[in-house]
Amino acid sequence: MSSVNKQLWGGRFTGAIDPLMDAFNASIHFDKRLFEADILGSQAYAKALAKRGIITSNECELLVDGLKKVLEEWRSNSFKIQPGDEDIHTANERRLGEFVGSVAGKLHTGRSRNDQVATDFRIWAREEAKKLLVYVKQLIYAAVERAEKEIDVLMPGYTHLQRAQPIRWSHWLLSYAWSWQADAQRLEQIIDRINVLPLGSGALAGNPFNIDREFLAKELGFKNVIQNSLYGVSDRDFVAELLFWASMTMIHISRFSEDLIIYSSGEFGFVSLADAYSTGSSLMPQKKNPDSCELLRGKSGRVFGQLSGFLMTYKGIPSTYNKDLQEDKEPIFDAVDTLAGSLQITTGVLSTLTIHPDNMKKNLSIDMLATDVADYLVRKGVPFRETHHVAGAAVKAAEDRNITMADLELSDFKQLHSSFEQDVTEIWDYEKCVENRSSLGGTSRATVLEQIQNLKTWLSEN
């Protein structure tokens, strides 16, 4: 018999397949990761066939037990892939037949690899997404825990990478915690959209044996059943969404890493990364490089590439299943692996870094209180547009004399505006500046504690 006839689809063919094409077509080297999802789906499908009387209860039991043995082999790394195993479905069915005999051939009744792989992939993606969600929440928890402990540390806040206004270190930390919370919420929504059942769609037109799809959904933990068989076998929006989610999350991790790379430099000295997340130089013994953060920043590009590559594959595919969709798995496998590692490394970096409050405080400067000069006049009844110009004039007056605004005399301020009084000296207090930002979302102690409590509540409820 020609080698092509040994394939699940080989009955229509008589000629031997080009060995290069055989290798080109095969996906077992990467889709073997779906082994557990494929076996769970097949066990449920066997039960559904028995429920409709397509196979007997004894045959169903034989199939379910045989599949359990196949699963045990995969889990123990003793499963041996054979040359004819072009994909995970072929491999599992072949091995099942070796365990239970010809009854294995009944398992595929009414089922296509099109709805089978769509089901396997959704099961796998759902479970992996749940793991990633745990890692995101662990990262948020690490940020919240640290923010609470170090709430009294002040640091410069930046815009355009220029010192702008004093903020709490905890406020900076929580800015990323809120980004990661948004990532977690997005992922929860994606999990819901992943969690719909395509099994029972057949190749494209539906199942001819009136299989109970609601039963299958319940068996496999799906919330709903896909209502259109054409959509069921072709939809890979969940892959695109998961890749976008991975890209967005890596953007947040990359930006966080960039901040830490800057803050750990000698020019800033705000933080030091733990030795566990740093490396040295092969030439310069004094160097301590933030390689963990640089790798996190670099791996973001890898994930973005997987998203853009898949979208280019997906955009031109005509309706229902086409072989191009075999290209859906490697990008998501790689992205999931990258995110799993990156999230855990980020948590480790954040949990173990050392902060240097004295260096942060030394980098606070009186010119960062220029807005507070404007705000002072606003409280005296002067319109802000006017006070902004007065504050700018105060900055320039200090610069021209090579002193700080705090060194200006009351008479100097009086020349700029008559509303200045002796209490202008109370402006030069960084703690007071921070505490003035007390509206919701601000950097005052009370509002930062409120953020911490809100994130703690969210974590406990989710």
> Tell me: the pLDDT tens digits for 144-167?
999 999 999 999 999 999 999 999
Q: What is the pLDDT of residue 11?
A: 56
**Band (232; pLDDT cuts 50, 70, 90):** very high
Catalytic residue among 57, 281, 418, 438: 281
Least confident of 12-21, 61-70, 297-306, 397-406: 12-21
Q: What is the pLDDT of residue 202?
A: 97
Q: What is the pLDDT of residue 176?
A: 98
**Band (3; pLDDT cuts 50, 70, 90):** very low
| First-residue to last-residue Cα distance in the chain | 57
Task: Tell me: pLDDT of 388 over 50.
Answer: yes
Catalytic residue among 76, 78, 102, 160: 160
Question: Is 389 known to be catalytic?
Answer: no
Burial class (CB in 10 A: 0-12, 13-18, 19+), 100: buried
Task: Tell me: pLDDT of 5 over 50.
Answer: no
Compute the average pLDDT of residues 173-183: 98
- How does the average pLDDT of the chain come out, rounded? 93
184, 153 Cβ separation under 8 angstroms: no
* Stronger pLDDT, 26 or 403, i.e. the higher one: 403
CA atoms within 13 A of residue 338's CA, in its CB half-sphere: 29
Domains in the chain, CATH or no CATH each? 16-106 (1.10.275.10), 113-203+228-362 (1.20.200.10), 366-428 (1.10.40.30)
Q: What is the pLDDT of residue 432?
A: 96
> Tell me: the pLDDT tens digits for 9-32?
455 545 566 677 677 777 889 899
Give the Cα separation of 90 and 117 in Å (integer). 11
Global pTM? 0.92
Compute the average pLDDT of residues 296-316: 96
Task: Tell me: pLDDT of 128 over 50.
Answer: yes
Contacts of 228 (CB under 8 A, 6+ apart): none
Q: What is the pLDDT of residue 194?
A: 98
Question: Is 78 known to be catalytic?
Answer: no
- CA-nearest of 243, 240, 248 to 314 is 240
Compute the average pLDDT of residues 437-443: 96
Ramachandran region, residue 221 (left: φ > 0; alpha: ψ -120 to 50; beta: rest): left
Task: Tell me: pLDDT of 360 over 90.
Answer: yes
Task: Tell me: pLDDT of 286 over 80.
Answer: no
| φ and ψ at residue 190, rounded to 5 degrees | -65, -40
* Stronger pLDDT, 6 or 47, i.e. the higher one: 47
Compute the average pLDDT of residues 383-387: 92
Give the Cα separation of 188 and 133 in Å (integer). 8
Q: What is the pLDDT of residue 26?
A: 77
